Amino acid sequence: MTDRQQVDVLISGGGVAGLTAAAAFGAAGFRVLCVDPAPPVTDEAAEGADIRTTAFLQPSIPVLEAAGLWARLAPHAAPLQVMRIVDAGGREPVARIVRDFDAADVSDQPFGWNLPNWLLRREMVARLAELPNVEFRPGTATAGVTARDDAALVRLSDGGQVAARLLVAADGRQSAVRQALGIGVRTTRYGQKAVVFAVTHQVPHDNVSTEIHRSGGPFTLVPLPDRDGRPASAIVWMERGPEAERLAALPVPEFEAAITERSCGLFGPLTLASRRAVWPIIGQTADRLTAPHTALIAEAAHVVPPIGAQGLNMSLADLRALLDLATKAPEALGSAEMLAAYEKRRHLDVQVRARGIDLLNRASMLEPQPLRDLRAGVLGALYGIAPVRRALMRAGLGVR
Ligand SMILES: Cc1cc2nc3c(=O)[nH]c(=O)nc-3n(C[C@H](O)[C@H](O)[C@H](O)COP(=O)(O)OP(=O)(O)OC[C@H]3O[C@@H](n4cnc5c(N)ncnc54)[C@H](O)[C@@H]3O)c2cc1C
C-alpha cells in the first residue's frame, strides 16, 4: 500500500558485527537490509581505517563459516596457539612471572586467529555483494523505530521506511535503536584509554599472544602475519587516559623506546609499523537485550575492555544464538517467543563475562606495590593448579 520496504531482517549498523550478521542471515536465506551512516573504510592506509585487530576465538569460526566468510578470511589470519601472561609489576619493568596457557592443553586447534579490522570490513563487504538477497546501504542511518504487532517499523535517514520482522541493533555503544526504544545501560568508566598500533620486531612471536601486566592496564601483543619480512604484532596498550594521550603523541623514537621498555624487551627493540589510534575504554551492559521485534547484539548490548579477546567473540555468540533460533523456526522470526529465548540464552553469559573482564582490568590497573605483588601471587597460584588452569582456558574460549 505504501512504498515501505519489507524485509525479514534489518541490521542497524555495518561495523564488523553488523556486517557479519548481514552475511550470516543472508547466507541462511533471509531477505536482509543492512544500513550504516558511515561507508566502511577497507584500505589500511586510508583516513579513518580501523587499525585494530580482532582475535576470533574457536567458537566464532563456525559462525564465520556459516556466513561464507571464513574461506575469505583464513588466508590472512595469524593463529594464536599460546596465551602468555606476564607479570611485570615489580619495582623495575622486567618480566618477573611468565605463564603460558597453551591451546594444546584443551584442544587440537589454536585458541583463535587474528585479523586486522579494516581487512575484515573489506572481505565482508565483498561477501555481501555475492548475496542477491542482501542489500548493504552505507550512507544511511537508522533514525527512528516504532514497534508494531507484526514488525518493527524503522525510519531511515534517507527518508525511507522499512518494516522488518526482526530488527538487529548492531549500531555500536551509542546504539540509535537502543536509545529509540528507551533501553537503559549501566556504564563503568575506568578513566583509561587504549593506544592501538602495529609493530615489527626481531624475536619471532611463534604464534604466542602476550599480555604484560604492570599498572595502568595490560599491554598486549597479538601475532600478525610477517610484515616486510619481519615478525609483526598488533599492540593494545591500555593506560590511564592522560598518559595514553601523552604516549600516543610522543615522537616516534621516544614512543619506540617506551614500547620496548613496556614490553620488557621480550621481543627485542620494537619498530612502529602503523599509525597510532586512541580508543576510550569503558564497560557497558544494556538493561535488556530485546524489545518487540528487536534484538540488541555486540556493542549495542555490551562493551568490555579489550582483554582476553572477548568483545567481538561475545558479539558473535549473540549472533550464533539469534541465527540458531531463526533457522530452527523461520516462521517465528522476530516473535516474542524467539526474543525471549534469545534473552534467556545470552543474559547470563554477558553478565558473567562483563564482570570477569571488569575484575581482570581492575587487577591490571593496580598501582600500589603490595597489591601488584598479590596479583602476581594469585596468577602463580591459579596457574599451578592444572584443572583450574584448564577450566580458565575453556571459560575464556567459551567452550566446555
Ligand atoms: C582497542 C580495542 C581492541 C579490541 N580488540 C578486540 C579483539 O582482539 N577481539 C575481540 O573479540 N574484540 C576486540 N575488541 C572489541 C571489538 O572491536 C568490538 O566488539 C567490535 O568492534 C564491536 O563492533 P560493533 O560492530 O558492535 O561496533 P562498531 O564497530 O562501533 O560498529 C557500529 C556501527 O554502527 C554504525 N552506526 C552508528 N549509528 C548508527 C545508526 N543510527 N544507524 C545505523 N548504523 C549506525 C557505526 O557507523 C558503526 O559502523 C576491541 C575493542 C577495542 C576498543
Is the CB of residue 118 less than 8 Å from the CB of residue 19? Answer: no
Taking residues 192-197, what's their average pLDDT? 96
| pTM, to two decimals | 0.92
Q: Rounded distance, CA 339 to CA 322, Å?
A: 8
> Which alpha helices (DSSP H) does the chain contain, by range?
16-27, 61-66, 70-73, 117-129, 176-180, 241-249, 252-262, 311-328, 336-365, 369-384, 386-397
The helix (run of H) or strand (run of E) holding residue 232 is strand 230-240
| Residues near ligand 1 (Cβ within 6 A) | 12-18, 35-38, 52-55, 141-142, 170-172, 176, 194, 196, 236, 279, 298-299, 306, 309, 311-313, 315
- Neighbouring C-alpha atoms within 13 Å toward the C-beta of 268: 10
Q: Rounded distance, CA 198 to CA 274, Å?
A: 5
Calculate how far, in angstroms, residue 23's C-alpha sits from the geometric centre of ligand 1.
16
- Cβ-in-10-Å burial (0-12, 13-18, 19+) of 301 comes to buried
Q: At what angle do helices 386-397 and 369-384 cross, to 10 degrees?
A: 100
Query: In CATH, which superfamily holds the domain spanning 74-114+188-281+365-397?
Result: D-Amino Acid Oxidase, subunit A, domain 2 (3.30.9.10)
> Residue 388: what pLDDT?
74
Closest CA to ligand 1's atom 48? 15
Q: Where are the domains of the chain?
A: 5-45+117-187+286-361, 74-114+188-281+365-397
**Vertex 388 angle, CA 382 and 390, to 5°:** 115
Q: Rounded distance, CA 331 to CA 236, Å?
A: 43
Q: What number does the ligand 1 atom closest to the CA of 38 have?
A: 47
Question: What whole-number percentage of the chain has pLDDT above 70?
Answer: 99
**Vertex 61 angle, CA 68 and 330, to 5°:** 60
The per-residue pLDDT for range 69-98, each reduced to its tens digit, is: 999 999 999 999 998 989 988 888 888 888
The per-residue pLDDT for range 226-250, each reduced to its tens digit, is: 988 999 999 999 999 999 999 999 9
Neighbours of 328 (CB within 10 A): 10
Measured in residues, the chain has a length of: 400
Calculate how far, in angstroms, residue 244's C-alpha sits from the geometric centre of ligand 1.
20
- Cβ-in-10-Å burial (0-12, 13-18, 19+) of 285 comes to buried
**Vertex 166 angle, CA 162 and 169, to 5°:** 85
Q: Which CATH architecture has domain 5-45+117-187+286-361?
A: 3-Layer(bba) Sandwich (3.50)
The more confident residue out of 313 and 376 is 313
The per-residue pLDDT for range 291-328, each reduced to its tens digit, is: 999 999 999 999 999 888 788 999 999 999 999 999 99
Neighbours of 178 (CB within 10 A): 26
